[in-house]
Chain A
Amino acid sequence: MSDTLVKVRDLKIGATVYPPGEKPHDIEIVHGVSFDLAAGKVLGLIGESGAGKSTIGLAAMAYGRGGVRITGGEVWVNGRDILKSGLGDVRKLRGGEVTYVSQSAAASFNPAKKIMEQVTEAAIVQGKFGRKEAEDRARELFAKLGLPDPDNIGERYPHQVSGGQLQRCMTALALCPEPDLVVFDEPTTALDVTTQIDVLKAIKEAIKDTGVAALYITHDLAVVAQVSDDIMVLRMGDTVEYGSVDQIINNPQEDYTKALVSVRSIEHEEKAPTAEPVLSVKNITARYKGTKFDVLHDVSVDLYPGQTLAVVGESGSGKSTLARVITGLLPPREGEISFAGRKLSPDLDGRSLEDLRELQMIYQMADVAMNPRQTVGTIIGRPLEFYFGMRGAEKRKRILELLEEIELGPEFLDRYPAELSGGQKQRVCIARSLAAKPKLIICDEVTSALDPLVADGILKLLLDLQKIEDVAYLFITHDLATVKAISDNIAVMYQGKVQRYGGKTEVLTPPFDDYTDLLLSSVPEMKLGWLEEVIAHRKMESAGN
């Protein structure tokens, strides 16, 4: 076992929690996890939020985030148990033998310092290299990771490079001190799909070239399948299944793993356009106040009653701006919007109460879209009072009906948002928008912050409600799997323009334009060797480069 770099035995991790209305107490969040990692190999840790995967990754550096403490077990790195080492030894390990790549490079780089200084800092502090050598090595890594102008990019500040570039700089930061192990914590999750591919490829090649071992943490099984040798599936702090990547993907044993591996279960037949669209957006051009660039150019789309139009695009494509124009928050420079057969005022102030009621919105972050000091009953009841003047027993009856529609029981009436899970919060937001009996609901990335299985439940609910309430959805998302699951019509947006627009089948059937092809082919697929295939067939560069 001389080539075993990391040996983790019965690792237990705990934290102190402060639940509202209760005394603080300790809970265990990882219950005895064991694995081995040989030098130069990659182990994927996969699971939904709360599975303990990041916590385990950080334990490999003897680090606990916030109030998290390692309470038991052994973590052997390079032949010594780092949980028994003193703080001085642990500091030598961190940034020297083991380094870390976080999910958000934008937040993990110090905004006040140049990239080069931060990339080389660990190597210099740990005494691995002198400044000159470290900088040479950093430039070499910048080039290896495919960053533009590798000789000078280090002289820039973090805000001066794009998100995808910064994520690669973070990888360079982790590789610069020639570590034995790198912990990658969701390194591509915050990126657009087309950018994710480039970063993924850069990381994979860098791991191969430098011979470093890696713990690769993610919730996306299709991504981890591209880079790992072994995979460990975690759930609520327990190991569900641990095996080679081939076995987990092609022959999963546990039901939970099978659920993760299986593709989305939602089937939705595309509906044909009916006579009159409920929403008609015509030739909209818009820009933000005080800027000189249009973020939307001549955008026209139609949405029919009781149907779903998916607006899909990457960050910066203008899809959320379109939602702001439709809701009246950003009056357009040109073009007009018809809604339910009447012309909508471009400005929010000019809209009637009826306009407001019939056009509702659901947001990405359900927890900040609700007042934390109001109960679920108050939150759902507010539109009933405001639009219909309901009071007392009548209001209560309607709230309970709405709760039933979102598959939550009457016991939720008096709960506060903080007592709900992420999926339940989003359900309450859906009920609040339905309470107004709208004709159209704008759904802005409503499943992006949720775990895949929970997101699936929300999408199913939305489809069922559409049948009952005959409501139309304008569904804004960057996730193509979601689009395939629920839409009737699709508008692909790219740099403020509608790149491709039509029925679902038509849009998703070749021949494609170059951008739609890039976007569709960039969605990770659950098969080995997919990454290499895609890279070989690309026709254009992603916008994030």
Chain B
Amino acid sequence: MGPALKLVVQRVALGLLLLLACSVLIFAGTMILPGDVAQSILGQSATPEALANLREELGVNDPPVQRYFEWLFNALQGDLGTALTNGRSITESIGSRLGNTLFLAFWAAVISVPLAIFLGLLAVRYKDRWPDKLISAVTLASISIPEFLIGYLLMYLVAVKLRWFPSVSMINDTMSLGEKLSAIAIPVAVLTLVVLAHMMRMTRAAILNVMQSAYIETAELKGLNMFQVIARHAFPNAIAPIVNVVMLNLAYLVVGVVVIEVVFTYPGMGQYLVDHVSKRDVPVVQACGLIFAAVYIGLNLIADVVSILSNPRLRHPK
């Protein structure tokens, strides 16, 4: 087994272990949360007997360790349990919503990642001149403004004043792809603005760091032009840090869109989570937490694997 393969296998095993640890944390965390689901279902006027009965029915009284393993075992088989509030299967409810969240994240990523890398390259090409400073200033400003504010600003300008796109991003299965894209145009724009700065700045920093290397001088002394030097010699050696920050931002696009989904009443995971947190629906919160953790760990795992594979010393040992 080559060193690269060994490292990849180690990393994947570690990722799984981490996910297991996360599941324990999520379960324990929701256990110690204050509040009582029976109380919130039945309301303030419920009698103690009715509350006790409902708790028994919901299985809240079983020992936590037993409940954890039952929950984990079912989750591994794809059964995330039933929502306490409406008695529906969580797996089914999440299915379509996760699809919607991924749909939004996908289009935000398709636009933001190439744009960020292109802007990063552009900033390197014109380092310390006005295009570099302009790119830095604009992306920094866009990351500094809270995303809900950008959301409302864009909504006001693009949806209300210009009337180009709808302000509410409701989508459903009957819509065509074009209609869906039109519906999510503004949230995608907001997400792009939020994640652009990190990726662009890391691309710029990573490539500038590589540009100090002696082999860049070799490339310049071969008579290559600036673009060839950056694309052929600098970029391949800057992939690892760039992929890392790209994956962190992709994870954010899936996990951190709660605010955006609420602002645009988009039927995704975030809104679903927020709804059920307020209703003390513990199984739903646990299920969402587990899925978010899996996405986060999975994407970072990909980043690690890409970093390992982009290192020729590991890929081609002596």
**Which chain B residues lie closer than 8 Å to A160 at the CB level?**
316, 318
**Which chain A residues lie closer than 8 Å to B133 at the CB level?**
none
In this assembly, does A501 line the interface, its C-beta being within 8 Å of a C-beta of chain B?
no
Q: Distance (Å) between the CB of B99 and the closest chain A CB?
A: 38
In this assembly, does B92 line the interface, its C-beta being within 8 Å of a C-beta of chain A?
no
Q: Are A110 and B223 in contact, CB atoms less than 8 angstroms apart?
A: no
In this assembly, does B218 line the interface, its C-beta being within 8 Å of a C-beta of chain A?
yes
Q: Are A110 and B221 in contact, CB atoms less than 8 angstroms apart?
A: no
In this assembly, does A460 line the interface, its C-beta being within 8 Å of a C-beta of chain B?
no
Determine, out of A119-127, A273-281, A441-449, the stretch whose residues face the partner at the interface: A119-127
Given the complex of chains A and B, what is the CA–CA distance between A113 and B233 in angstroms?
A: 8
Q: Are A159 and B221 in contact, CB atoms less than 8 angstroms apart?
A: no
- Contact among A94, A107, A111, A118 with B220 in the assembled complex (CB-CB below 8 Å): A94
Given the complex of chains A and B, what is the CA–CA distance between A111 and B217 in angstroms?
A: 14
In this assembly, does B64 line the interface, its C-beta being within 8 Å of a C-beta of chain A?
no
- Contact among A95, A104, A125, A159 with B313 in the assembled complex (CB-CB below 8 Å): A159
In this assembly, does B69 line the interface, its C-beta being within 8 Å of a C-beta of chain A?
no
Given the complex of chains A and B, what is the CA–CA distance between A92 and B221 in angstroms?
A: 10
In this assembly, does B176 line the interface, its C-beta being within 8 Å of a C-beta of chain A?
no
- Render A224-258 as a binary contact track against B, CB cut-off 8 A, 1 for contact: 00000000000000000000000000000000000
- Contact among A95, A110, A122 with B233 in the assembled complex (CB-CB below 8 Å): A110
Q: Are B316 and A94 in contact, CB atoms less than 8 angstroms apart?
A: no
Given the complex of chains A and B, what is the CA–CA distance between A125 and B228 in angstroms?
A: 10
B237, B312, B313 interface centre (most CB from chain A within 10 Å):
B312
**Which chain A residues lie closer than 8 Å to B237 at the CB level?**
110-112
In this assembly, does A412 line the interface, its C-beta being within 8 Å of a C-beta of chain B?
no
Given the complex of chains A and B, what is the CA–CA distance between A99 and B213 in angstroms?
A: 18
* B contacts with A: majority SS: helix
Given the complex of chains A and B, what is the CA–CA distance between A276 and B232 in angstroms?
A: 62
Q: Are B223 and A100 in contact, CB atoms less than 8 angstroms apart?
A: no
Q: Are A110 and B217 in contact, CB atoms less than 8 angstroms apart?
A: no
Q: Distance (Å) between the CB of B276 and the closest chain A CB?
A: 48
In this assembly, does B222 line the interface, its C-beta being within 8 Å of a C-beta of chain A?
yes
Q: Are B223 and A112 in contact, CB atoms less than 8 angstroms apart?
A: no
In this assembly, does A23 line the interface, its C-beta being within 8 Å of a C-beta of chain B?
no
Q: Distance (Å) between the CB of B206 and the closest chain A CB?
A: 13
Q: Are A159 and B223 in contact, CB atoms less than 8 angstroms apart?
A: no
Interface size on B, residues (CB 8 A): 22
B213, B215, B219, B224 interface centre (most CB from chain A within 10 Å):
B215
Q: Are A110 and B236 in contact, CB atoms less than 8 angstroms apart?
A: yes
Q: Distance (Å) between the CB of A414 and the closest chain B CB?
A: 33
Given contacts A113-B236, A160-B316, contact A108 B218 (CB under 8 A): yes
Which residue of A has the minimal Cβ distance to B313? A159
In this assembly, does B1 line the interface, its C-beta being within 8 Å of a C-beta of chain A?
no
Given contacts A157-B312, A159-B313, A160-B318, contact A109 B215 (CB under 8 A): yes
In this assembly, does B214 line the interface, its C-beta being within 8 Å of a C-beta of chain A?
yes
Which residue of A has the minimal Cβ distance to B214? A107
Q: Distance (Å) between the CB of B242 and the closest chain A CB?
A: 13
- Render B102-124 as a binary contact track against A, CB cut-off 8 A, 1 for contact: 00000000000000000000000
Which residue of B has the minimal Cβ distance to A113? B236
Given the complex of chains A and B, what is the CA–CA distance between A63 and B218 in angstroms?
A: 11
Given the complex of chains A and B, what is the CA–CA distance between A157 and B316 in angstroms?
A: 8
Given contacts A110-B236, A157-B312, contact A104 B214 (CB under 8 A): yes
Q: Are B218 and A102 in contact, CB atoms less than 8 angstroms apart?
A: yes
In this assembly, does A61 line the interface, its C-beta being within 8 Å of a C-beta of chain B?
yes
- Render A138-160 as a binary contact track against B, CB cut-off 8 A, 1 for contact: 00000000000000000011011
- Contact among B219, B225, B236, B318 with A159 in the assembled complex (CB-CB below 8 Å): B318
Q: Distance (Å) between the CB of B4 and the closest chain A CB?
A: 13
Given contacts A157-B312, A159-B312, A159-B318, contact A95 B214 (CB under 8 A): no
Which residue of B has the minimal Cβ distance to A122? B222
Q: Are B223 and A93 in contact, CB atoms less than 8 angstroms apart?
A: yes
Given the complex of chains A and B, what is the CA–CA distance between A110 and B313 in angstroms?
A: 12
- Contact among B215, B225, B310, B313 with A108 in the assembled complex (CB-CB below 8 Å): B215
In this assembly, does A96 line the interface, its C-beta being within 8 Å of a C-beta of chain B?
yes
**Which chain B residues lie closer than 8 Å to A111 at the CB level?**
215, 237, 312-313
**Which chain A residues lie closer than 8 Å to B316 at the CB level?**
156-157, 159-160
In this assembly, does A91 line the interface, its C-beta being within 8 Å of a C-beta of chain B?
yes
In this assembly, does A292 line the interface, its C-beta being within 8 Å of a C-beta of chain B?
no
- Render B225-240 as a binary contact track against A, CB cut-off 8 A, 1 for contact: 1001000110011000
Which residue of B has the minimal Cβ distance to A65? B217
Q: Are B224 and A125 in contact, CB atoms less than 8 angstroms apart?
A: yes
**Which chain B residues lie closer than 8 Å to A159 at the CB level?**
312-313, 316, 318
Given contacts A159-B312, A159-B318, A160-B316, contact A108 B217 (CB under 8 A): yes
Given the complex of chains A and B, what is the CA–CA distance between A104 and B228 in angstroms?
A: 23
Given the complex of chains A and B, what is the CA–CA distance between A126 and B221 in angstroms?
A: 12
Can you list 18 residue pairs at the A/B interface with Cβ under 8 Å? A63-B220, A91-B224, A91-B225, A94-B223, A95-B223, A100-B218, A104-B214, A107-B213, A108-B218, A109-B218, A110-B233, A111-B215, A111-B312, A113-B233, A121-B232, A122-B222, A157-B312, A160-B318
Nearest first, the 5 A-B pairs at minimum CB distance are A95-B223, A95-B222, A107-B214, A122-B222, A94-B223
In the complex, given contacts A95-B222, A96-B223, A110-B218, what are 7 additional A-B residue pairs having Cβ atoms less than 8 angstroms apart?
A91-B225, A94-B220, A100-B221, A107-B215, A111-B312, A121-B219, A125-B223
User: Which B residues fall within an 8 A CB radius of A?
Assistant: 213-215, 217-225, 228, 232-233, 236-237, 310, 312-313, 316, 318
